[in-house]
Copies of this chain bind each other. A is one copy, B any other.
Amino acid sequence: MFKSELTEILQIDYPIIQAPMAGGVTTPELVAAVSNSGGLGSIGAGYMTPEQIRVHIKKVKELTSKPFAINLFVPSKFEVTKSEMESASQNLQSIRTELNVIQDDVEVPIYENMVKTFNEQIKLIIEEKVPVCSFTFGVPSLEVIETLKKNKIIVVGTATTVGEAAEVEKSGMDIVVLQGSEAGGHRGNFMHGDQESLIGLMSLIPQVADQVEIPVIAAGGIMDGRGLMASLCLGAKGVQMGTAFLTCEESGAHQVHKKTILQASEDQTVLTKAVSGKTARGLNNQFIVEAEELQTAFPEFPVQNALTQSIRKAAAQQNKPEYMSLWSGQSPRLAREQTVAELMEKVIFDALNIINTN
């Protein structure tokens, strides 16, 4: 019933991909549970060192023999002066004081180092024969894509507009994930501005499906069998779900983050650059409100991300959701506290029910 070129390429039973949420959410237990349930688990490795990735992959492989994916951030150039950074850091001082955070000297991220790390990550993924490698924040070099494909690794890109999806296809990638405006976490736009690329999935999926040949995966606000079936009707071959997996038992998200989502409503998410310097969707809280009051423009990603790290860490340790980054898509009312197996079973059961009643 759910078989398609997508499930064929990825060698999975159900066209359900667990979104590669970075920052500790995608524990080996979560990734393996998704793959063992017939979907595709994904390691969110954007912030991991090659050594951390190696350990993570090893653990996933111990827990499942099924295919899984790994996701990397494509490094992009950014400009920041020392004084901009100091001023942005100074603006956060009142929040640090509230949390009793003593800010050490922040290491300025250096683009060349990020590229070096990225290349090491790619090398490792090839060595470890990870079945699927997905990318966010742009299209990697054609050389990288070709090398991965030569090594029989399926390559997946992320797009937020028709133009970006066409670019992903042109680069030779096998599959494109379409991130709708509903999606939680960082926006993946890399050709269009933040506003122009906020397209709802009801509009985005069919317009992309008409223009590209590679299989399309829908991402953003999809939490259940209704979202899966709707996405398939619109022309997607599968779905990627983030928030739905984030509140699962196996996820490594902070308990307070899970609990806040489970109690939230659809009108409580906002788009902000305050956390990382790149626009992302999460539940509104004191940190976002204060940071945006203190400053209107933030240093580019990953500079702001480095500046706020100690705040987010302290907030997590102190169980203070007001100062954590509470990434969430626009469907928190559909989130449940359950195991991955329970979620997967329910999605498939509900989807089959929809098919049978039509």
Q: Which residues does A use to contact B, with CB under 8 Å?
A: 1, 161-163, 180-182, 192, 195-207, 210-211, 218, 220-224, 226-227, 229-235, 265-268, 270-271, 329-331, 333-334, 354-355, 358
Contact = CB atoms under 8 A, between A and B. Distances in A.
Given A181-B181, A358-B355, A358-B358, A203 B266 contact: yes
11 contacts: A161-B266, A161-B267, A199-B330, A200-B220, A202-B202, A202-B220, A202-B221, A203-B221, A203-B266, A205-B226, A206-B226
A266 B208 CA distance: 10
A212 to B, nearest CB: 13
Contacts of A200: 180-182, 200-202, 220-221, 330
Contacts of A230: 202, 229-231, 233-234
Counted per complex, copies of this chain come to 2
B334 A162 contact: no
Given A195-B270, A227-B206, A162 B220 contact: no
A180 B270 CA distance: 16
A226 B234 contact: yes
Contacts of A205: 226
A182 B1 CA distance: 30
